[in-house]
Amino acid sequence: PPFIAIDQEGGRVHRLPKPFTHFPPAARLGATGNATLAYKAARVTAGELSAVGINLDFAPVLDVDSNPNNPVIGDRSFASDPQKVSGFGAQWIQGLRDGGMIPCGKHFPGHGDTDKDSHLDLPVVDRCLGELRKVELPPFVNACRNGIESLMTAHVIYRALDPKLPATLSHSIVTGLLREQLSYQGVVFSDDMEMKAISEHYGAEEAVRLCVRAGVDAMLFCHELPRAIRAFNFLCSEFEKDVTVRLQVENSYNRITKLKQDFLKGVAGVSADELEERLGLWDHQAIVDEIQRNL
């Protein structure tokens, strides 16, 4: 079966209208100091998404809120403390898992310290390697150690890790750091390849070539179908003529297939009438109220 994915984080990144439960942003959860509430919110989110056939949630955000001038992360992060982000992120991941949903932590190796929005521009982080290891990386290290099923890359340049290429296109970051140093074996998704951080700085074919060579397993093209088709056709061509690309695609295929075999046992989803009845029976708003009471 195909991945059917969504960004359902809570707060301002919430794609489905009522009667789906709209949870507060991650920062509100973090402010409660009660990581069990993150588990409850994620478990409910997984149940509601599964009911309509969605099987992959691009959440949680594992970025640390380390820059108050960040225009895109902010309250999407659980906290400014890396250990707190790790703890709340772990509970959110487990909640999605227990609800049969594939979690995808984002945005590796950390989007919290940027002062630009990668939807609109290409951010650069100048933190030294020691600072990255102390602040930005711990939630991702923790998620890798706990076997998170998938991660999403950041369209951000980290000069201490790769002075030229954003993480999504960087072999040093995706393969060198994530695969080799952190021993991560799960599926790696790119962020949307049509975001301006990539599309305004790299041609479509160049971006695809670099992304695959970096070690990314699945590239997201979220808006214009012709771009996705062009990228697919180019990748097929590269697969036929370049043994390095062919080996990478085969490795990615194996990782993706394993993830699907682990999670996608059958076709999920219910009829519209059954969905309305099920959502009406579930008292999920009570968990939102519990979060508010814990602030």
In angstroms, the CA 89 to CA 101 distance is 15
CB hemisphere CA count around 209 (13 angstroms): 11
Neighbours of 257 (CB within 10 A): 11
The string over 187-199, giving b where at least 16 C-beta atoms fall within 10 Å of a residue's C-beta and e elsewhere, is bbbbbbbbbebbb
- Note if 119 is an active site residue: yes
Question: What single letter denotes the amino acid at residue 250?
Answer: E
Give the contacts of 62 (CB within 8 A, at least 6 positions apart).
85, 86, 89, 105, 106, 107, 108, 110, 139, 140, 143
From the number of C-beta atoms within 10 Å of its C-beta (0-12, 13-18, 19+), residue 88 rates as: buried
Catalytic residue among 57, 63, 191, 217: 191
Distance separating alpha carbons of residues 112 and 82, to the nearest angstrom:
11
Verify whether residue 191 is a known catalytic residue: yes
Catalytic residue among 7, 81, 119, 171: 119
The catalytic residue positions are 119, 191
